[in-house]
Amino acid sequence: MQCSFFSEGAVERRVRTAGTATLIAAAATTLLLALGAAAAEGSIAIELNKLEPQGKTCRAYIVIQNKGTTNYQELKLDIVLFKADGVIGKRFAVDLAPLKADKRTVKLFDIEDTACEEVGSFLINDVMECKAETGPLTDCLKDLNVSSRTNVELTK
């Protein structure tokens, strides 16, 4: 009867390789979980919830869900209003701050001299200011998730 054994060096190499693969898999899993948590942490959902006529003005109701742990002291958006025919109607700034961490908030703003039926869509053109308690934040536009419950589209 013939028995085959691995040499001591071959066993060590296999154990080292298996151990390294396990460590790499564990590190990758930890990194993916951390990245997922960071993405969720910076996530801000902005919903155009309602447009309401106010004489010659249109009032917009915005629901903001700050899903993360960041308290925003400043969050000013550059908004472009497109008319129903697709032509740019107005450009203005909207300040949504302050936004508390893990909190849902309702903000409203009036669009002067614009009837609600004239509004075709809104574009969040850029984030003009974005600041947390720890200081200015960069690239906040990527953290915004937008939606609309109205027939008026909100995009970024």
Tell me, yes or no, if the pTM score tops 0.85: no
In the chain, which ranges are continuous DSSP H helix?
8-41
What does the pLDDT look like over 46-65, one tens digit per residue? 999 999 999 999 999 999 99
Domain assignment of residue 35, given as a range:
1-41
pLDDT tens digits, 2-31: 444 445 555 455 445 445 444 444 443 333
Q: Are residues 53 and 37 in the same domain?
A: no
The total number of structural domains in the chain stands at 2
Q: Which residues make Cβ contacts (< 8 Å) with residue 143, sequence separation at least 6?
A: 42, 43, 44
Residues above pLDDT 70, as percent of the chain: 73
Question: Quick check: 13 and 117 in contact, CB under 8 A?
Answer: no
State whether 101 and 75 are in the same domain: yes
pLDDT attached to residue 133: 93
Residues 33 and 5 in one domain: yes
Give me 119's structure tokens: 């509004």
Q: How far apart are CA 49 and CA 64, in angstroms?
A: 10
How far is 15 from 8, CA to CA, in rounded Å? 11
26 vs 133, residue with greater confidence: 133
